[in-house]
Amino acid sequence: MRTYLNRSVTTAIMTLLVAGTLFAGATTPLAAQDKTVVVHLGTLNDDWQSTLMAMGVATNLLRAGADVTVYVDRNAVRMAEPRQPLGVILDRDVGAMVEEFVEMGGRFLVCGHCAGIAGVDGRQLRPGFTIGGPEDVAAIFMAADIVVSF
């Protein structure tokens, strides 16, 4: 009985210590203002839920005051093309989400290598999208306080 009680107390103390450590640095809207965030999205057509989550998280972080760039690579580079329909999934208009994000000051950086493979040439892109080379990609990730990947 005594051993069980000691283990229970030890477990409770460890749980409180871990929880305290995790939540001590919890981001408040004011703390988020100093954060630079990269949200990585690598898929568009294959996994619409990831697209919805990436756009939702990016927009919420932007609302909280963070400086947010969505980095798109692989087949997600097609988001940059105005002729690419972004669709409505689960009653959410992805095109409207992209427009809102850009209007709020968010940016998209498109992997130049992936854009070349996909035939996205950069002469005509949606507002808020730019094609970046290796130096641009390295710069956003090196400057990021937080990277979220979908």
Each residue's pLDDT expressed in tens, for the chain with a length of 150 residues? 555 445 444 444 443 333 343 334 445 555 557 899 999 999 988 888 999 999 999 999 999 999 999 999 999 999 999 999 898 878 889 999 999 999 999 999 999 999 999 999 888 999 999 999 999 999 999 999 999 999
pTM of full prediction above 0.85: no
Picking from 136, 26, 11, 6, the residue whose alpha carbon sits closest to that of residue 72 is 136
What residues does each domain of the chain span?
A: 27-149
**Whole-number Å distance between alpha carbons of 4 and 112:** 59
Q: How many CA atoms lie within 13 A of 69 on its CB side?
A: 25
**Whole-number Å distance between alpha carbons of 104 and 37:** 15
Strand pairing of 129-132 and 107-111? parallel
List, in sequence order, every beta strand (DSSP E) within 17-142.
36-41, 67-72, 88-89, 92-93, 107-111, 129-132
CATH superfamily, region 27-149:
DsrEFH-like (3.40.1260.10)
